[in-house]
Amino acid sequence: MKSAEMSTGTSRTCDSDHDGRLIMKEHFRLQVDKLFNMLFSSTSTFIADFHDKRKSTELCMGPWKNGKDGQQVRHINVTVALQANVGPKSSKVTEFQTMRACSCPGEIYSIDVLSVNEGIPYADVFNIATHYCLVRSENNGTDMLVFGNVNFIKSTWAVVKAFIVKHSYEGLSEYFHCLSEQLQEVSKKEKK
């Protein structure tokens, strides 16, 4: 890698509107392709270990396939452990992932994830949309942004909505806090 390239970052931009709440904003000393592979390749041991630590089971990561308009799509199935003292102890989650056409290896990855739950109360009422932005930074590391949105697909009572919104954002914060910590561990080792 030429030193000039190392300080340029990228001129590419993400074409997402970056809707929703900013859930995570972190810098990692990892090259953007490496971070992408850790989070989104179907052979990633990092993400398998991460789910393992969270006591998630039945992780099944599909391969990326060509979608419409230059997009790449894949889906993931995983059964996640729930922390609550009452109610179900696990939930089946399907993640529909779309890599936007503005993504470019070595520069930027822009990925939309739609998460659908099964096996929890009101699972059919909502879904959770997250957007991952992995952008090559000036020092050839990566700036990572994650936005989250709770979508209601069926009408329900305001009190139920408020409950779902509260718990969904708490869940997202907790998940990405843990993910960020694990990524920083790898990132710190990278520097040595």
Q: Does 99 bind Zn ion (CB under 5 A)?
A: no
Kindly write out the interface string for residues 104-123 of this chain, putting x where it contacts Zn ion by CB under 5 A and - elsewhere: ------x-------------
Stretch that binds Zn ion, among 9-17, 69-77, 113-121, 162-170 (CB under 5 A): 9-17
| Cβ contact 116:125 at 8 Å | no
Stretch that binds Zn ion, among 62-70, 103-111, 118-126, 161-169 (CB under 5 A): 103-111
| Cβ contact 103:113 at 8 Å | no
Near Zn ion by CB under 5 A: residue from 10, 12, 16, 91: 16
Q: Does 79 bind Zn ion (CB under 5 A)?
A: no
CB of 18 to Zn ion, least distance (A): 6
CB of 158 to Zn ion, least distance (A): 31
Helices 158-191, 32-40: crossing angle, 10 deg rounding = 130
Phi, psi for residue 176 in degrees, rounded to 5: -75, -25
Cα(110)–Cα(14) distance, integer angstroms = 6
Q: Does 134 bind Zn ion (CB under 5 A)?
A: no
CB of 131 to Zn ion, least distance (A): 6
Q: How many CB atoms lie within 10 A of CB 153?
A: 10
Best CA proximity match to 187, nearest among 153, 143, 150 = 143
Best CA proximity match to 16, nearest among 135, 106, 168 = 135
CB of 64 to Zn ion, least distance (A): 18
Q: Does 144 bind Zn ion (CB under 5 A)?
A: no
Q: Which residues of the shown chain bind Zn ion in the complex (CB under 5 A)?
A: 14, 16, 110, 133
